[in-house]
C-alpha cells in the first residue's frame, strides 16, 4: 500500500478510471492506482473532488493535513463504531494510576532502548562511551520512578543526551545545537519536526481506525487538540523511524544544507529534498513494519502495536512490548 504526498500549490485530487490523480491546470502531476492507496498527505492547500473523497472514505483511506515545515493540522479518517469495548477499557485503565505508570514505563523503556541501540552502532565512529553509560543509568532508574512526573524527568534527561550525540554524529556543514520544535531554527530540526509529525499523524489515524481514542493518553497529559495516546505510542518510533533516517540522509550526503530555505516560519525543504525525505521515510517505516516485535502479534508496525495495546487494555496480554529498531 502506498502513501501519496501532495506538495504542489494549485493542484486538485480526483478519481479517474480507477486511478487517483493529482492535477494542475489539466496536467497530471502524480497518479496511482486507487486500490493501492493507503493515505494521502496534503502538505499544501489542494482541492479533492467529491467522487475521490467518497472513494477514500469508503475505503478507509486517511487524508492527513500538514504544513511544509512539519505542523500537523488534522486528518480525515473513517471511524468504526464496533469498538466500544476497547474505548471502555481504555477509559477504565486511564483511571488506574498504577497501570498508567507501568504502561508509560514500557513506552519510555522502548524509547531509551532504541537510543542505546543507535549509538552502540555508532560507537566505533564516535567517542560516546560516557553518554552511553549515562543512558544506561537512566534506563535502570525507570523502574524505580514512583510518579509520571519523575518518569517524564528521566525521559527528558535521556533526550538531552540523545540529541547531544546526534549533534556530534552529524558530518559536514550542518548546524544543530539542540532540539527545538517550532519554528525549526535549522535544517536538522526541520527534518526532525517533519518526521515526528508524519509519525504522529499516522499513529493518530491508526489508533482511531482500531477503535481507541487517540486523545486519551497514559504518559502524556490530556490537552485540547493533542492526540496524547498517539504521542505516547510514537515515543519508541522516534529514534529508529526519524532520528536514524535523518542521520543517514545527512551523513550519506543525500541531503545538503542548500536543500533548505529559511523564512519567517523557520526552515523548510525544497521540493526535491521533500520528495527524497518522504520516499526515504516511507521505506524506513515499511522496513520497521516488517520486523515483528516480541509480542504475540504476528503483524508488526503501528497497527500491530495498537492491537497489542488493545490486548493489554482487555487483560489478554500481560505486558506491552515496544518496537526495536
pLDDT digits (tens, 9 = 90+) for 50-88: 998 888 888 888 888 887 666 778 777 766 556 789 999
For residues 39 and 205, the answer to whether their CB atoms sit within 8 Å is yes
Lowest-confidence segment of 48-62, 104-118, 192-206, 295-309 by average pLDDT: 295-309
pTM of the model: 0.84
In the chain, list all ranges with CATH 3.100.10.20: 2-66
Region 109-136 average pLDDT:
87
Residues pairing with 32 in the sheet: 20
pLDDT at 66: 81
pLDDT of res. 296: 54
CA distance 308 to 67: 31
| Number of helices (H), then strands (E), in the chain | 10, 10
The residues, ordered by sequence, that sit 6+ positions from 284 with a Cβ below 8 Å of its Cβ are 240, 241, 244, 245
CB neighbour class for 68 (10 Å; exposed up to 12, middle 13-18, buried from 19): middle
Q: What are phi and psi of 29, to 5 degrees?
A: -95, -35
Question: pLDDT band at residue 35, thresholds of 50, 70 and 90?
Answer: confident
Q: Please determine, for residue 47, whether its predicted confidence score (pLDDT) is greater than 60.
A: yes
Between 296 and 14, residue with greater pLDDT: 14
- C-alpha pair distances (Å), 71 with each of 34, 44, 93, 231: 27, 12, 30, 14
Segment (H or E) for 15? strand 12-16
Are 269 and 190 within 8 A, CB to CB?
yes
Q: What is d(CA 231, CA 226) in angstroms, rounded to the nearest whole number?
A: 8
Q: Residue 298: pLDDT above 60?
A: no
The hierarchical CATH code for the domain 84-313 is 1.20.120.920
Q: How far apart are CA 62 and CA 277, in angstroms?
A: 20
Query: Which tops the pLDDT comparison, 7 or 223?
Result: 223
The CATH number of the structural domain formed by 2-66 is 3.100.10.20
| CATH 1.20.120.920-classified regions of the chain | 84-313
For residues 196 and 323, which has the higher predicted lDDT (pLDDT)?
196
Separation CA 259–CA 273 (nearest Å)? 6
Alpha-carbon distance 195 to 52, whole Å?
27
Portion of the chain with pLDDT greater than 70, in percent: 93
Show the DSSP H helices in 35-96 as ranges: 50-59, 84-94
pLDDT band at 292 (very low <50, low <70, confident <90, very high): low
Amino acid at each position: 500500500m502506498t502513501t501519496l504526498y501532495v506538495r504542489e500549490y494549485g493542484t486538485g485530487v480526483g478519481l479517474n478510471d480507477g486511478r487517483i490523480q493529482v492535477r494542475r491546470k489539466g496536467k497530471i502531476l502524480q497518479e496511482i492506482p486507487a486500490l493501492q492507496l493507503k493515505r494521502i498527505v496534503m502538505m499544501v492547500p489542494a482541492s479533492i473532488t467529491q467522487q475521490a473523497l467518497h472513494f477514500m472514505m469508503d475505503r478507509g483511506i486517511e487524508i492527513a493535513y500538514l504544513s511544509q515545515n512539519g505542523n500537523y493540522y488534522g486528518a480525515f479518517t473513517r471511524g468504526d463504531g464496533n469498538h466500544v469495548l476497547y474505548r471502555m477499557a481504555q477509559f477504565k485503565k486511564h483511571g488506574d494510576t498504577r497501570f498508567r505508570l507501568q504502561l508509560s514505563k514500557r513506552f519510555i523503556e522502548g524509547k531509551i532502548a532504541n537510543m542505546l541501540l543507535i549509538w552502540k552502532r555508532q560507537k566505533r565512529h564516535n567517542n560516546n562511551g560516557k553518554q552511553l553509560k549515562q543512558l544506561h543509568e537512566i534506563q535502570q532508574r525507570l523502574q524505580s520512578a514512583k510518579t509520571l512526573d519523575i518518569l517524564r524527568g528521566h525521559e527528558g534527561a535521556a533526550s538531552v543526551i540523545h540529541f547531544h550525540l546526534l549533534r556530534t554524529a552529524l558530518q559536514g556543514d550542518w548546524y544543530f545545537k539542540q532540539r527545538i520544535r517550532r519554528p525549526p531554527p535549522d535544517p536538522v530540526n526541520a527534518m526532525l519536526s517533519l518526521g515526528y509529525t508524519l509519525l504522529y499523524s499516522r499513529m493518530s489515524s491508526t489508533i482511531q481506525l482500531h477503535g481507541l481514542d487517540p486523545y486519551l493518553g497514559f504518559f502524556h497529559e490530556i490537552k485540547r487538540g493533542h492526540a496524547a495516546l498517539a504521542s505516547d505510542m510514537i515515543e519508541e518510533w522516534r529514534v529508529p523511524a526519524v532520528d536514524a533516517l535523518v542521520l543517514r540522509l545527512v551523513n550519506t550526503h543525500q541531503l545538503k544544507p542548500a536543500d533548505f530555505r529559511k523564512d519567517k516560519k523557520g526552515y523548510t525543504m525544497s521540493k526535491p529534498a521533500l520528495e527524497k525525505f518522504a520516499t526515504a521515510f516511507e521505506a524506513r517505516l515499511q522496513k520497521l513494519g516488517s520486523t515483528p516485535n516480541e509480542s504475540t502479534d504476528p503483524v508488526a508496525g503501528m497497527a500491530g502495536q495498537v492491537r497489542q495495546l488493545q490486548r493489554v487494555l482487555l487483560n489478554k496480554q500481560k505486558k506491552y512490548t515496544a518496537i526495536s529498531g
